[in-house]
Amino acid sequence: MRVDPNYISNLTGSLDQTQTTLQQLTAELSGGVRVTSLSTDPVAAGQNVLLLNQIQVDDSFTQSSNLVQGQLQVADSALGSVVSQLTQVVTLATSANNGTMNSSNVKSISSQIAGILGEVTTLANTSYQGQYIFAGGQTSTAPFSTSTATSPAVTTYSGDENINYLQMPNGGKIQLNVPGDQIFSGTGSNSVFAALNSLVADYATGTVNTTKAVADTNDLSTALNYVSQQRVTIDSSITQLTSASDAVSSEQTQLTAAQTTLMQADIPKISTQLTLAETQQTALESVIAQLGSSSNSLFSKL
């Protein structure tokens, strides 16, 4: 039987292959990445795109939620201050309504309430990073202004009813703002500013129309409760945001682990393969040296 006399060139081919394997393994080791091209593992490459997408989405939600958290906390503390200011007004009005005060004391209460009105207006015009947070979508102009042309004075709202949401990675939405008129200019007896302006007018002259003043005080108490109710919306957004942000962070950790497992090189495994390939290369080299030696040729024996 005849044999292929060019077996050494076939062995050289094997040596080339071994060197390619060595190169690939070294590249994986030095880069720490297993999937160095799409064809190495097409399914993993596709999966990687989806995982990286989700990780990025989570990452950007975490950043957004930090931004939004600041805004919601500013809104919450502003409403907290409003509640304590209004509680003070109710106390002042109740003492003025009991009929024991002289005219100058009543007038002083009127001006105290007017001062608080000013503060509440400032709180209602709270801004965060230059944006008015109780103005709906019209965040570039202060939403509340008071006109003293009439008595009682009238506070008007120039914002709109727009509500912004932050979309969570799972598709849910978190409310980011409550339009100012919902909080401060509610309908009927729910309007903070109407009640405050009426009370200022009620006590302005020093003589108290007790029936009206009591009714206005009651209105303010109702409005105060209403503000507290609106504050709950903001508080629940903060709670939702915190828990969503925690959930997203832990998801991100898991996804990153999954992505690492999918794409990163298994160092011990590659090292073992590398050792094997090196051994094979040495073996091939010595076989080639042995077979290629001229003393193996019949001509050398003649």
Partner 1 sequence: MGTISSALNLMSQAFDADQAALNVTANNVANASTPGYTEETPTWQENDSIQINGVSVGTGATETGATSQRDRVLEERLDQQQQLASASGSRLTALNSIQALFMPDSGSTSSTAGDIGSDITGFFQSFSSLEANPTNSALRESVLSTASTLATDISNAANGLNTQSTGLDQQAAGAVGQVNALTSAIAQLDTQIQSISPDADAGTLEDQRQLDLSQLSQLVGINQSSTENNGLAVTTTAGQLLVSNSSSFQLTTGSVAGVTQIFAGTANLTTQLASGGGSLGGDLTARDTDIPNTLASLDQLAYTISTRVNAQNNAGTGANGAAGTAIASSTTGAKTLDIFSPPPTLVANTASGGTDVSGAAAAMSAVMTDPNLVAAAASGQGTGDNSNAIAMASLTNQTIVNGQTPTTFFSNFVSTLGSTVSNVQTENTAQTASVSQLQSQNNAISSVNLNDEASALTTMERSYQAASQMFATLNTIMTSALNLGVDTAVT
Applying CB under 8 A, the residues found at the interface with partner 1 are 2-6, 10, 13, 31-33, 35-53, 55-57, 60-61, 63-65, 67-68, 71, 129-132, 135-140, 159-160, 162, 164-167, 171, 176, 256, 259-260, 263-264, 297-299, 301-302
Closest contact distance (angstroms) between CB of 286 and partner 1 is 21
Neighbours of 192 (CB within 10 A): 27
Closest contact distance (angstroms) between CB of 79 and partner 1 is 18
Nearer to partner 1, 76 or 214 (CB): 76
Is 68 within 8 Å of 131 (Cβ atoms)?
A: no
Q: Give 29's Cβ-side CA count (13 Å radius).
A: 15
Closest contact distance (angstroms) between CB of 301 and partner 1 is 8
Nearer to partner 1, 169 or 206 (CB): 169
Closest contact distance (angstroms) between CB of 47 and partner 1 is 7
**Residue showing tokens 């944006």:** 131
Question: CA-to-CA distance for 76 and 238, rounded, in angstroms?
Answer: 9
* DSSP calls for 36-103: -SGGG-HHHHHHHHHHHHHHHHHHHHHHHHHHHHHHHHHHHHHHHHHHHHHHHHHHHHHHHHTS-S-H
Nearer to partner 1, 55 or 75 (CB): 55
Nearer to partner 1, 149 or 302 (CB): 302
Nearer to partner 1, 59 or 235 (CB): 59
Question: CA-to-CA distance for 139 and 198, rounded, in angstroms?
Answer: 28
102 phi/psi in degrees, rounded to 5: -85, 170
At residue 281, the 3 state secondary structure works out as helix
Nearer to partner 1, 4 or 268 (CB): 4
Closest contact distance (angstroms) between CB of 138 and partner 1 is 4
Closest contact distance (angstroms) between CB of 131 and partner 1 is 6
Closest contact distance (angstroms) between CB of 133 and partner 1 is 9
Question: CA-to-CA distance for 224 and 253, rounded, in angstroms?
Answer: 44
State which amino acid sits at residue 286.
Answer: S
Nearer to partner 1, 174 or 227 (CB): 174
Residues in the chain: 302
